[in-house]
Amino acid sequence: MNRIYLDNAASTPMDAEVLDLMIDVLRSANGNPSSVHYHGRQLRAMIEQSRKEIASLIGASPAEIFFTSGGTEADNLAIKGAVATQGIQQVITTAIEHHAVTHPVEDLEKAGMKTVWLRVDSEGFPDLAQLETALQSGDKSLVSLMHANNELGTMIDLDQVARLCARYGAILHSDTVQTMAHVHYKLSDMPIHFITASAHKFYGPKGVGFLYIKSGTQIPAQICGGSQERNMRAGTENVAGIVAMAAALKKCYGSFEQKTAHLWNLKQRMQQGLERMVTGVQFNGAIEPGKSIPTVLNVAFPSDEEESMILFNLDIGGICASGGSACTSGSVKGSHVLAGLGHGQARVSNSVRFSFGVQNTEAEIDEALAKIGEFLHVRV
């Protein structure tokens, strides 16, 4: 069976050229990058060149890039580190963030940290008036708001949030895992202290990512035992992964306009096809350009017995999609994001996230629509 992969928000397939480069590094990169001999110096040079390339692509300084095992570690490092050293008196976030943010914040709240959970509207946009009111309290604040929601695709105006936080002297962290490579950044011009990224969301390898820490922002290490990453993250570096991540990001930004146009075409083709085919279909989150990213379309199918089996039927039909974040796919509670929008269990259970990658084609979208039509007993 020809399977169609429409779960790219969970993980993108690795780019073939990037994979070849990673294999070459794995084959040739003997030694430890902390060693002072030839092999160590060779690996160190690869890491630092990759750091420079990533920094250049997002408008940052190489000294502001710290390599991690992925977005989850980077989010934890930023949030826990800021609270430990920045005199934080309150944390401000939403209940629809990735669990790499909500779980650390919940732990801080249990330990006594004042926490403000911002309201979100029906599309997943945070209440910025409530944010400003919280910032006006005078408490030193850490604000953590993701740039684009991983389940909805809804994208906040990060520049507006950053300016608001700067006005009140707040520390700002944003999980940019879903927007990295899909948005142009010039971080040197933005009053934002932390952003996070994960390579396997932009056609790089799993198990490697980075944290941007704005120059002058000091936080302690969370993983100790070595001096790697300028004493910020102990452990022998994943050299092949780091090199591959830089190459993947460079390739994405090198074909940015073409890639973005292709992804929007796929998303809109799926959206319009479902609207024509399924009476009563709705979409969770914002879907239009400027308010969302082109990679994610969260679909709420009408609630009845047929649609309640939609993920099962999609899988049987060779269509790979998800009901929400892959990080919580085993949860019996369903999507905390959709619940956070105020949707009932029926809508949560009957919602599917389709997410698109550069390898997907119009023909695959049409085939997916045909499969959906088959088990919903409608004509495409």
| Residue in the block written with tokens 């976030």 | 93
> Which CA distances in Å does 280 have to 32, 267, 273, 283, 297?
58, 19, 13, 10, 16
Distance CA 301, CA 289 (A): 22
CB 5 within 8 A of CB 354: no
Distance CA 9, CA 201 (A): 7
CA-closest candidate to residue 373, choices 323, 313, 321, 322: 313
To the query of whether residue 320 is one of the catalytic residues in this protein, the response is no
- State which amino acid sits at residue 352: V
Crossing angle of helices 239-254 and 16-28, rounded to 10°: 150
- State which amino acid sits at residue 110: K
Point out the residues that are catalytic.
327
